[in-house]
Amino acid sequence: MSHDAAHIKPVMSPMTVIAGIILIVGLFVTALRFTAGLGATTNLSDYTPWGLWIGFDLLVGVALAAGGFVTSAAVYIFGMKRFHSAVRPAILTGFLGYALVVFALHYDVGRPWRLPYPFLVQSGTTSILFEVGACVALYLTVLFIEFTPAPLEWLGFKKARSIVVKLTLALTILGVILSTLHQSSLGALFLIAPSKLHPLWYSSYIPIYFFVSAIIAGLSMVIFEGTLTHKHFADKMDEAHLKEKEDVVLGFGKAASFVLAGYFVIKVIGIAVDNEWGYLATGYGAWYLVELLGFIALPCFLYAVGVREKNLNLIQWTSGIAVLGIAINRLNISLIAFNYHLPAADRYFPHWMEFAISIFIVTIGVLVFRFVVTRMPVLYEHPDYEAH
């Protein structure tokens, strides 16, 4: 009995307690947000109507969820079958990312029950924001259908699973088209604010910057998420998933290095075309150089070295730097370099409740991901479908 007792896992682990506290605080702030309004839970103003919930929950969230379309395109369009084990985890991460973006929008919109209003009552087809909303809604639907084979296998619905699998290529192509549209359009939203966004971050090329950096985020996120998954859920993986780990890390690391190199070049070209060199000598210029050199040039170099030396640990650590760099870029554009000309007293800084909700949403995503991968065939091939 003492031997058996030694192997009983504690019901309340430290991480469980922390997650529970985050959920309780998040539910409290949620109730306050939807009863007392935005004014009671945010520091938003007429100067800054978009805050942390847009800058982090939406802009960063959408970029980091790009691994879904990047991975499925690599496998199903470009025929890179050696990365097949990364598809379902990437699709799951992408689906959860977009679902949580839509969930977070309900907090930011003043009247969230009117979120579908433009689609049902009055369509603003000339608005970039309408295009972003339409593409995100459609792509979330595509991701849901792409992911359904896993729960259908889990539930034993073979006929329904067979139908969805036959749509894989069409769904992949549609997903790439929709992602190309809304990833770039998120950047285009800031084209209307040339007087508010600092010149180093404002550019007519900003839609291109957003799309290219989303590819970097997708490639890096697949490596980063895969690293954590192999560390915590290796017991849920089959032999094929364990064997393909090295190919996925090296292949995606190599691709990320090339895309980062191209991204660095077009960013420098953007500065040259707009002749913004003088701003580099300012305080904002120093911060811009940190982003350009520390989070674009550096991970590009580290990825290249890691791939050449087949150093998986270096590539995995670099993916964390690249993911952080994309997050910093989105926050720079939406918060830090936005309204840069305002005095310090009028500058926006998020309320603690805004941070609480963002952490709350991320925690929900992690818990749902853990629930799914520990129960459904995401990290392994279902025995009934291995031949397929």
pLDDT digits (tens, 9 = 90+) for 265-301: 999 999 999 999 999 999 999 999 999 999 999 999 9
CA-based radius of gyration for the chain: 22
Q: Looking at residue 362, what DSSP letter applies?
A: H
pLDDT in tens, 78-137: 989 889 889 999 999 999 999 999 999 999 988 888 887 777 776 667 788 888 888 999
pLDDT classification of 3: cutoffs 50, 70, 90: very low
Per DSSP, the three-state class of 231 is helix
Q: Which residue did the predictor score with more confidence, 155 or 386?
A: 155
Taking Cα atoms as reference points, which of 176, 266, 156, 158 lies closest to residue 212? 266
Q: In the structure encoding, which two tokens stand for residue 181, read together?
A: 């549209």
CB-based contacts of 69, cutoff 8 Å, min separation 6: 94, 139, 172, 175, 176, 179, 218
What's the burial of 24, exposed, middle or buried (CB within 10 Å: 0-12/13-18/19+)?
Answer: exposed
What pLDDT score does 121 carry? 74
What pLDDT score does 127 carry? 80
Q: What is the pTM of this model?
A: 0.91
Taking Cα atoms as reference points, which of 174, 81, 98, 107 lies closest to residue 137? 98
What pLDDT score does 191 carry? 93
What pLDDT score does 242 carry? 86
Q: Please give the domain boundaries of the chain with CATH numbers for all domains.
A: 50-370 (1.20.1630.10)
What is the maximum alpha-carbon separation in the chain? Answer: 76
For the chain, the straight-line distance linking the first and the last C-alpha, in angstroms and rounded, comes to 45
What's the burial of 238, exposed, middle or buried (CB within 10 Å: 0-12/13-18/19+)?
Answer: middle
Residue 206, pLDDT > 90, answer yes
CB-based contacts of 310, cutoff 8 Å, min separation 6: 246, 250
Q: Taking residues 9-27, what's their average pLDDT? A: 85
User: Across the chain, what does the average pLDDT equal?
Assistant: 91
The tokens 């058996």 sit on which residue?
4
Q: Taking residues 335-355, what's their average pLDDT? A: 92
Q: In the structure encoding, which two tokens stand for residue 285, read together?
A: 């210029």
Q: Which residue did the predictor score with more confidence, 235 or 211?
A: 211
323 neighbors 224 (Cβ within 8 angstroms): yes
What pLDDT score does 179 carry? 93
